[in-house]
């Protein structure tokens, strides 16, 4: 591409470039449209297009909603005489190649889907001065708006399960086409009043259905595939783009930026988060800030649904919490399986899902990344405790004028200075390195082996007087108590060392994803 910057034409103010690059030409065309007086008013402080503004064959009637990528309008198709939802990207999206590529991907992927519960795409213009996506217009609130106007504690569990089950069936269809949504949330589920499905009233004058309508009176529609991608698609996204979305409904693997591990089971997690909020009124990992949500998502488990609403059957809680498991391997195998399970619950049939056993729950708890730092801090604390215990014991013996001989006293002091302290400091240093995930694997096994050896040695000293130092051979009670306590402390360190094996956690996550 020519290095000379584009210059405005002296005659008409349009931008010109000496380059023949087609992509640059498209960009300049969009800049012309945005800067011209006849261009879309979206540019000025994100102001909305006025009624009657024309984009191609579509005449704008009113704005429906807006998001980070674009504004959705109710528009009339002049040629076919029908109403559509017209999504137009924001100005900064039009001149950003990565965001414009995502807008193009939304149109391409959504156009592949033909399902009664997925809002269909009629047409897309992606190369003109003002790109747009024309979809079917659904006159109704989205689920987020409906939840804001209704008390979640009054929502029928059956109605919530039925609605999420229907969306799960639509998501299953998308997965069968190789498409992962990646942004399932209440705002992307439109509620269409059942009586309006066959024939739409005047959408220009109509407003959203009144909030006192029950959930059973609506039929859901899934929309907004702006973050969707093909499962086989090569992943070349930046961390910032991966974190675009709603953290309250993101799966742990998506929130942590593991793009290669985001798949159908990530959508299942999001469906579980939507169901949880419908049943309790709050998101499962709600916090005051974005980092707070991510921390809770990584470390916490959702509060029991039945504790918040005792009238909800444990079967529905089991289904919901299975969707929200940290490990993808512990969730449902497919959205279709989730839809079938919710159908069984709604029909009053026994569900197939079972709660994780206590042992499995404990094992899953040990696999949280935060366990590494916590376990290594415990290892360091135990080493510090043993050092204090050793020298504190010698000092107490000296002050109590015990029957220790000078030889025995020197033997104990020398062993603590030359053996105990260096070993404890070495263990603490290794724990610090392991917490930073910089300890070589050989060193990790060396520390684990040493801890196991010390456990055996301390128990041997507690049980065999002949192996103990001279003073302890004469005081069996002190010997058994001291070395048994040391063995227990070493055993505790060994357990913490195993919990802090970050490579074990990483391997488990890789297998489950």
Q: Which of 391, 252, 271, 416 is nearest to 337 (CA)?
A: 271
Residue 166: Cβ within 10 Å count: 20
Q: Name residue 135's beta-bridge partners.
A: 85, 121
Q: Which of 77, 183, 224, 315 is catalytic?
A: 183
Q: 73: which residues sit within 8 A by CB, 6+ positions away?
A: 48, 49, 60, 61, 62, 63, 64, 85, 86, 87, 88
Query: For residue 117, with 0-12 CB atoms within 10 Å meaning exposed, 13-18 middle and 19 or more buried, which class applies?
Result: middle
Residues 73 and 64: beta-carbon distance below 8 Å: yes
Burial of 5 per CB tally in 10 Å (0-12, 13-18, 19+): exposed
Is 65 exposed, middle or buried (CB count within 10 Å of its CB: 0-12, 13-18, 19+)?
middle
371 touches 416 (CB < 8 A): no
Is the torsion defined by CA of 447, 448, 454, 457 positive or negative? negative
Contact in structure between 326 and 364 (CB atoms under 8 Å): yes
Q: Looking up tokens 């709603």, which residue turns up?
A: 246
Q: What gap in Å lies between CA 313 and CA 377, rounded to an integer? A: 41
User: What is the b/e burial string over 295-317, where b = at least 16 CB atoms within 10 angstroms of the residue's CB?
Assistant: ebbebebbeebeebbeebbebbb
Overall size of the chain counted in residues? 513
Do 223 and 190 meet the contact criterion of CB atoms below 8 Å apart?
yes
Is 14 among the catalytic positions?
Answer: no
Residue 249: name the closest of 229, 225, 266, 224 by CA.
266
User: What angle is formed at CA 376 by the lines to CA 358 and CA 512, rounded to 5 degrees?
Assistant: 45
Strand spans (E) along 200-243: 218-222, 229-230
Catalytic site positions: 183
């Amino acid at each position: 591409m020519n290095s000379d910057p584009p210059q405005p034409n002296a005659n008409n103010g349009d931008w010109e470039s000496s380059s023949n690059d087609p992509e640059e030409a498209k960009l300049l065309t969009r800049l012309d449209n945005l800067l011209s007086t006849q261009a879309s008013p979206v540019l000025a402080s994100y102001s909305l297009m006025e009624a009657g503004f024309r984009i191609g064959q579509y005449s704008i009637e009113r704005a429906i909603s807006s998001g980070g990528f674009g504004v959705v309008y109710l528009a009339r198709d002049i040629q076919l005489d029908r109403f559509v939802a017209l999504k137009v990207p924001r100005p900064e999206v039009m001149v950003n190649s990565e965001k414009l590529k995502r807008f193009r991907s939304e149109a391409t992927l959504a156009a592949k889907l033909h399902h009664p519960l997925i809002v269909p795409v009629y047409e897309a213009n992606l190369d003109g001065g003002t790109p747009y996506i024309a979809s079917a217009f659904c006159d109704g609130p989205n689920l987020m708006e409906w939840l804001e106007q209704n008390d979640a504690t009054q929502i029928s569990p059956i109605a919530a399960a039925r609605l999420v089950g229907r969306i799960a069936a639509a998501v299953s269809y998308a997965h069968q086409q190789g498409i992962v949504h990646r942004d399932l949330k209440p705002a992307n589920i439109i509620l269409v009043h059942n009586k309006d499905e066959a024939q739409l009233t005047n959408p220009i004058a109509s407003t959203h259905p009144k909030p006192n309508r029950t959930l059973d009176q609506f039929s859901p529609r899934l929309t907004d595939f702006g973050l969707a991608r093909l499962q086989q698609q090569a992943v070349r996204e930046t961390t910032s783009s991966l974190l675009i979305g709603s953290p309250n409904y993101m799966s742990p693997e998506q929130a942590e930026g593991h793009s290669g591990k985001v798949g159908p089971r990530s959508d299942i997690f999001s469906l579980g988060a939507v169901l949880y909020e419908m049943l309790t009124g709050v998101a499962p990992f709600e916090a005051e800030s974005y980092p707070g949500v991510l921390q809770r998502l990584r470390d916490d488990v959702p509060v029991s649904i039945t504790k918040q609403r005792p009238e909800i059957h444990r079967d529905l809680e089991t289904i919901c919490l299975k969707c929200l498991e940290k490990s993808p391997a512990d969730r449902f195998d497919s959205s279709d399986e989730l839809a079938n399970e919710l159908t069984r619950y709604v029909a009053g049939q026994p569900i197939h899902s079972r709660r994780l056993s206590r042992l499995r729950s404990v094992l899953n708890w040990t696999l949280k990344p935060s366990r590494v730092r916590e376990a290594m801090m415990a290892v360091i604390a135990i080493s510090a405790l043993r050092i204090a215990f050793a020298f504190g014991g010698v000092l107490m013996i000296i002050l109590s004028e015990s029957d220790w001989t000078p030889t025995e006293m020197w033997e104990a002091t020398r062993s603590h200075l030359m053996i105990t302290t260096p070993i404890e400091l070495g263990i603490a240093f290794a724990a610090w390195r392991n917490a930073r995930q910089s300890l070589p694997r050989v060193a990790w096994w060396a520390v684990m082996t040493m801890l196991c050896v010390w456990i055996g040695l301390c128990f041997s000293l507690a049980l065999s007087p002949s192996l103990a130092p001279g003073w302890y051979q004469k005081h069996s009670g002190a010997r058994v108590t001291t070395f048994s306590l040391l063995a227990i402390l070493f055993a505790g360190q060994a357990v913490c060392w195993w919990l802090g094996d970050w490579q074990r956690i990483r391997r488990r996550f890789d297998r489950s994803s």
